[in-house]
Amino acid sequence: MTMHPAPMSDFRMPEDAAAARAVADAVTANVEQVLRGKTEAVRLALSCLLAGGHLLIEDLPGTGKTSLAKALATSIGGISQRIQFTPDLLPTDITGVSVWDPERRVFDFRPGPVFANVVVADEINRASPKTQSALLEVMEEDQVTIDGQAHRVPSPFLVVATQNPIDLEGTYRLPEAQLDRFLMRISLGHPDLAVEEEILTGRASAAVPVLRAVTSPEQIDRVRRTVATIHTAPEIARYIATIADGTRRHDALRLGVSTRGSLALLRAAQAHAVCAGRHYVVPDDVKATAAAVLTHRLVVAAQAEVRGVTAAAVLAEVLETVRVPTPVAAGRT
């Protein structure tokens, strides 16, 4: 596989990519004021936003899931809402409801908390499947339909859902078809010893930082449009397709990556490239986002699961065996 070098004039970083990187750096630095030592997770969450997707954060309690979601919401300005998912939560508690106005003799629509730029859905697996579906429908359509009337949510629109993978009593597992609505699934994990000591020392000697917006919804929309223009060489597209095909052929998987998953990986790689200030995708963008985009779309076969095989391990094996396109030639053909 040959990738021909581009003229040197093509190596200049376009102004829109440089501006997009400035926004990404500002948001990342802002979020890291409250979430220390998690630069990679913050960058992935930001890439998810810029790619126009939705984010699922799956981790143990106390690792900063809600902190990341709220800090991201504050950093981009606009409207943010938080919904605590519980077993008695109703679909209308999310989407809103039509209320009869006896004076005007009409139904007025009262928007629910989903009408925001960033919606934090805490412990999404604690609500009933019917309520989960109400949120997931909005995620897919960017609108709510009540009594035959469509109501569009603001732009940009990002759902950051959290769930605890350990405490499963009284929860409703998200099926694969609903997990597929999330562009990325990430985990934060505990900070290392040095970072945790720094957190404890800082909290003991100073107040918790109060974040402010460092960009605007309009600027995020502009960056999203830049992401859509990011150049992807045919070799990169073939690389992504080969990864997807490798998961479909793997004996340990009952379900591999769909074409929707391949497209999701492409979008995420484009957003990751923008965060790095590039106007083209390189293989490292694909590898950096592959686990977050693909693992929750894979279903391990029962026999392999008994042996302790995980989706993450299978994907790592596929990435190891798929040939990386070289030379990259700055991602341009």
319: CATH: 3.40.50.300
Residue 328 has pLDDT above 60, yes or no: no
Instruction: Note the pLDDT of residue 318.
Output: 96
Instruction: Note the pLDDT of residue 331.
Output: 53
Residue 249 has pLDDT above 60, yes or no: yes
Residue 185 has pLDDT above 70, yes or no: yes
Whether residue 52 is contained in a domain is answered as: yes
Query: Domain tally for the chain?
Result: 1
pTM: 0.85
Instruction: Note the pLDDT of residue 206.
Output: 55
Residue 8 has pLDDT above 60, yes or no: no
Whether residue 1 is contained in a domain is answered as: no
Instruction: Specify the range with the lowest mean pLDDT, choosing from 8-17, 57-66, 166-175, 200-209.
Output: 8-17
Residue 305 has pLDDT above 70, yes or no: yes
Q: Rounded mean pLDDT of 86-92?
A: 91
Whether residue 2 is contained in a domain is answered as: no
124-175 confidence digits (pLDDT tens) = 988 888 888 888 888 988 998 887 788 899 999 999 998 877 666 667 788 7
Whether residue 210 is contained in a domain is answered as: yes
92-128 confidence digits (pLDDT tens) = 999 998 888 888 888 888 999 999 998 989 889 888 8
Residue 67: pLDDT band with limits 50, 70, 90 = confident
Range of the domain at 317: 8-331
Residue 13 has pLDDT above 70, yes or no: no
Whether residue 306 is contained in a domain is answered as: yes
Instruction: Note the pLDDT of residue 46.
Output: 93
Whether residue 314 is contained in a domain is answered as: yes
Q: Rounded mean pLDDT of 16-24?
A: 85
Residue 14 has pLDDT above 60, yes or no: no
Whether residue 3 is contained in a domain is answered as: no
Whether residue 290 is contained in a domain is answered as: yes
Residue 11 has pLDDT above 90, yes or no: no
Report the alpha-carbon distance of residue 263 to residue 266 in Å, rounded.
Answer: 5
